[in-house]
Amino acid sequence: MDSSTAVAAPLLEAGGKEMRHLGRTAHNMSSSSLRKKSDTSLVRKLPCAALRGFLSTLQEVLFGTKLFVLFPAVVLAVVARYMRFGQVWLFVLSLIGLIPLAERLSFLTEQIAFYTGPTVGGLLNATFGNVTEVIIALFALREGKITVVKCSLLGSILSNLLLVLGTSLFFGGLANLGVEQPYDRKQADVSTGLLILGVLCQSMPLMLRYAVSAGEHAVNSDDSGLVLSRACSVLMILAYGAYLYFQLKTHRQLFEPQEVEDDGDDLVSEDEAVLGFTSAMVWLAVMTVITALLSEYVVSTIEAASESWELSVSFISIILIPIVGNAAEHAGAIIFAFKNKLDITLGVSLGSATQISMFVVPLSVLVAWVMGVPMDLDFNLLETGSLFLAILVTSFTLQDGSSHYLKGLLLLLCYAVIGVCFFVLRRRSGRDSCTLPPIFCSNHLQLLIVSSHLLCFDDS
């Protein structure tokens, strides 16, 4: 506790009561499963009150998580950057360092929510819930690496829908054999509906490109696909805003997981703030800056890692980065599946996938528009088809309101098939080096055939 906690005591009391009454989000509860109580007995013996408050806050932030053993990777990544240990080492250390940082960002936003109330807290969670993906996307856009942006965001959606949910249902089913494993279908139906809307918006530029290249339709300009993507992005963000209003105001009860009983373990129950409002805001800014620094390292070294490991950038961006970047959140979802709290597990996996699909993806397109980068929603046929089938399989898996381990196994096998597909994929450089408008670049052969026919016609 620091001095700002006492200053904000009235606000904390009112906000805390409201938070306890309304419950916490699935993301908060998932992250809390990785937290542990800090022993501040030694800190309390210090005579200086200011030093005592600072060290107590530092201990809560750095050692209040079971992932604190990974924090040295953050320091080692910075050292590797300036000591030039090698780009592959920098890539690996930066990915590992992002794991505890993502969990701490969730912890700090929850601390702030105690003072701002559940509505603002929900908006903070909606903003910082996938801040790692947002920051990586921004740095990749700044360097013009559109493929990295698209693949990393696509991989995050696939990871949440198939890997996280599949692992949770599989191990949760094995741990609860012979026990009913119910969950509320209403929340799942809302999320899958938004995911279908998101993949529809991503499919339209793709279908437009193929329709025009096949000669079935014509467009007003060469950048019609880009204009369509930007228009769809605006509509997706509006839909996500309506979803937040639905979640935080009109139908809040559908998204409130039940509190987890104390099972005798060291699960931390966050019924009151352990940080002051000012301290939480300062540490949130610090952790965000550090996350941005490591994200920049990841983006700048991904090609070196791809060449060293002989893996495509698509595979690293779709499979490796999402798994490591969301490891803390994923672990929490699996832990609650073991406890047969599937509503929390679904809230984490489907909530993250929805947030990335309906907010982070269109936000990246609009930010790229401001930056002058021609990023669109055309994720190519293989990527878009994989996403559509993943959403379809997940929707059918969750349609009956109960779970067992076979459902989880099927989702995991689907993820394995997609992973193998991108593992053997070697992206051609033809489309990236094409000088024609992007809407025609994948059909060079057709253009050559048409040109040859025209030449023959002229000769005749």
- pLDDT: is 46 or 271 the higher one? 46
Within-domain flag for 175:
yes
H-only helix segments in 310-371: 313-315, 321-325, 327-338, 342-355, 361-371
Cα(217)–Cα(207) distance, integer angstroms: 11
385: Cβ contacts below 8 Å, ≥ 6 apart: none
- Residue 361's domain spans which residues? 26-34+65-255+275-425
What pLDDT was estimated at residue 28? Answer: 57
Question: In percent, how much of the chain has pLDDT > 90?
Answer: 33
pLDDT at 370 over 70: yes
| pLDDT value of residue 123 | 66
With respect to residue 225, please indicate whether it lies within any of the assigned structural domains: yes
pLDDT score recorded for residue 32: 59
Q: Which of 216-225, 243-252, 264-273, 370-379 has the highest mean pLDDT?
A: 370-379
Residue 439 has pLDDT above 70, yes or no: no
Mean pLDDT of the chain: 79
Q: Whole-angstrom Cα distance, residue 26 to residue 28?
A: 5
Placement of tokens 């982070």 in the chain: 360
- Answer whether residue 383 is part of any domain: yes
Q: Are 114 and 15 in contact (CB under 8 A)?
A: yes
Residue-level pLDDT at 25? 59
Q: Residue 447 corresponds to which tokens in the numbers above?
A: 């253009």
Count of domains in the chain? 1
155 in Cβ contact with 365 (< 8 Å):
no
- Rounded to an integer, the average pLDDT of 31-57 is 66
> What mean pLDDT is predicted for residues 62-89?
89
Q: Looking at 4-18, 184-198, 216-230, which range is the least confident one?
A: 4-18
In a domain, 439, yes or no: no
pLDDT of 20 reads: 43
Over 70: is that where the pLDDT of 90 sits? yes
| Half-sphere exposure of residue 9: CA atoms within 13 angstroms, side-chain side | 5
More confident residue, 453 or 354: 354
pLDDT for 193: 93
Residue 231 lies in a domain: yes
> Quick one: pLDDT band at residue 431, thresholds 50, 70, 90?
very low
Q: Output the pLDDT for position 6.
A: 47
Dihedral through CA 385, CA 390, CA 393, CA 396, nearest 10? -110
Q: Please indicate, yes or no, if residue 416 is contained in any of the structural domains.
A: yes
The model's pLDDT over 294-334, given as tens digits with 9 standing for 90+, comes to 989 999 999 899 888 888 888 998 988 888 777 777 787 88
- pLDDT of 267 > 60? The answer is no
43: pLDDT strictly greater than 70: no
Q: Within 13 Å, how many C-alpha atoms sit on residue 257's CB side?
A: 25
pLDDT at 93 over 70: yes
What integer pLDDT is reported at residue 232 of this predicted model?
A: 96
* Average pLDDT for 333-342: 86
pLDDT of residue 117: 66
What tokens does 82 get?
Answer: 């300036």
**Which whole number is the average pLDDT over 45-57?**
71
pLDDT recorded at residue 44? 63
pLDDT(264) > 80: no
Distance separating alpha carbons of residues 353 and 160, to the nearest angstrom: 6
pLDDT band, residue 440 (cuts 50/70/90): very low
CA distance 359 to 327: 21
Using one digit for the tens of pLDDT, what is the confidence trace for 344-367? 888 888 888 999 999 999 999 999
Q: What is the mean pLDDT of residues 120-136?
A: 73
pLDDT score for 118: 64
| Domain assignment of residue 123, yes or no | yes
Q: Does residue 133 sit within a domain?
A: yes
- At residue 154 the predicted structure's pLDDT band, cuts being 50, 70 and 90, is very high
